[in-house]
Amino acid sequence: MKRLLTGLQSSGTLHIGNYFGALKPFLDTYQNHESFLMVADYHSLTSLKDPALVRASIENVVLDYLAVGVDLDNATIFQQSQVHEHTELAWIFECLVTVPFLMQSHAYKDKVAKGLEANAGLFNYPMLMAADILLYDAEVVPVGEDQRQHIEYAREAANKFNNAYGETFKEPQGMILEGTGVVPGVDGKKMSKSYGNTIPLFGTKEEITKAVLSIVTDSDGDIPTNVYTIHKLFKTEAELAPMYEENKGKYKASKDALIEDIENFVAPMRARRLELAAQKDLIKNVLAQGSEKARAIAQAKMLDVRSKVGITL
Ligand code: TYM
């Protein structure tokens, strides 16, 4: 079985873009692979500085993974920072790539374009993500379109290392789905926590309603395009056609139908999440077990890497 790995940064509330861009493709295929789901907590430190928030965000991602239905018999959930080999390998990659190469990163360039100062962690971010993937020889990496460049960086890191020290890493493939690679937010731009345009996946009905009612309704004919694009994630075009035909020009009615469909989809997962959150020590146990399993693989890989680069005496 091929190895599959993906991760969520523990830095905010899961939104429907994360779900349809990364988690849904993961759920559709993880049982046919040896699957790993990572909580990217070291990546979150590039933006979060409040320890209480860092801790809560890690716990939230684990609950999110479990609430969307990940079965622990078929997937390993682990915490990036509990496997020290990630930062170790990232360092080795950083010594192989150049500064101009990392300067091409979209995340870094966006920050600079906004006149903000990027920390060195953000600058090196792609090499940590390359390490996340390559440590496990993961071949399949389900992600949204915004991570395409990071997969390319990982392929390039593998290449650079293999050229310098001999065949060691497999080049990973992104798994970016047509139609859900970029889920738009309420303003029609890519849904993103940093743009404040999200529909929260585990929001209350009130939060979902508020977000949907705020969808900007630039129309294409009689159909509110932004509403329809999001609606297609929850229902097929055939299912939606009669409703949009009947509601031509009546945007509020289409939004109400979307709220109903999101609520029906989310309610069982939200209830499950509440149950899981009440289980004492669940999160700690899941992460301890998963991280132990991940660590065994990462440690074996690093024995080879250390020896190849020459630091094993
Ligand atoms: P993060 O936490 O920003 O996003 C998690 C996943 O959600 C996808 N996504 C979207 N997909 C479609 N439409 C959107 N509007 C949308 N917004 C977010 C992202 O593409 C991503 O797949 N660097 C990663 C986390 C990471 C990782 C890894 C992923 C760290 N190491 C190794 C895979 C493999 C990140 O910040 O994703």
Q: What is the pTM of this model?
A: 0.95
How large is the average pLDDT for residues 80-100?
A: 98
Position 73 pLDDT exceeds 70 = yes
Burial track 220-231 (b if 16+ CB lie within 10 A, e otherwise): eeebbbbbbbbb
pLDDT for the residue numbered 219: 61
Backbone angles phi, psi at 77, to 5 degrees: -100, 125
Position 113 pLDDT exceeds 80 = yes
- For residue 38, what are the β-bridge partners? 7, 78
Indicate whether residue 105 lines ligand 1 (CB < 6 A).
no
Other C-beta atoms within 10 Å of 284: how many? Answer: 11
- DSSP output for 49-74: --HHHHHHHHHHHHHHHHHTT--TTT
pLDDT for the residue numbered 174: 81
**Residue 143 DSSP code:** -
Position 29 pLDDT exceeds 70 = yes
How large is the average pLDDT for residues 164-171?
A: 96
Mutate to test the pocket of ligand 1, among 143, 182, 230 (most ligand atoms within 8 A of CB): 143
pLDDT for the residue numbered 230: 96
Rg of the chain on CA atoms, in Å: 21
Indicate whether residue 17 lines ligand 1 (CB < 6 A).
yes
Position 9 pLDDT exceeds 80 = yes
pLDDT for the residue numbered 220: 63
- Determine contact, residues 34/4, Cβ cutoff 8 Å: yes
How large is the average pLDDT for residues 154-159?
A: 97
> What separation, in Å, do the N-terminal and C-terminal C-alpha atoms of the chain show?
34
| Cα-to-centroid distance, 167 and ligand 1 (Å) | 28
pLDDT for the residue numbered 222: 78
Mean pLDDT of the chain: 95
Mutate to test the pocket of ligand 1, among 38, 64, 146 (most ligand atoms within 8 A of CB): 146
d(CA 311, CA 95): 14
Q: Which amino acid is at 190?
A: K
- Determine contact, residues 80/287, Cβ cutoff 8 Å: no
Other C-beta atoms within 10 Å of 195: how many? Answer: 12
pLDDT digits (tens, 9 = 90+) for 206-232: 999 999 999 998 766 778 889 999 999
Domain 3-181+280-309 fold: Rossmann fold (3.40.50)
Indicate whether residue 146 lines ligand 1 (CB < 6 A).
yes
- Reported as half-sphere exposure (CB side, CA atoms, 13 A), residue 226 has a value of 23
- Identify the three-state secondary structure at position 179: coil
Residues with Cβ within 8 Å of 145's Cβ and at least 6 positions away in sequence, in order, are: 21, 176, 181, 182
Q: What are the structural domain ranges in the chain?
A: 3-181+280-309, 202-275
| Cα-to-centroid distance, 240 and ligand 1 (Å) | 28
Residues with a known catalytic role: 111, 190, 193
Atom number in ligand 1 closest to CA 10: 2
- Determine contact, residues 255/212, Cβ cutoff 8 Å: yes
Indicate whether residue 58 lines ligand 1 (CB < 6 A).
no
Alpha carbon dihedral 69, 18, 39, 51, in 10-degree steps, equals -120
User: What is the three-state SS of 197-260?
Assistant: CCCECCCCHHHHHHHHHCCCCCEECCEEHHHHHHHCCCCCHHHHHHHHHHCCCCHHHHHHHHHH
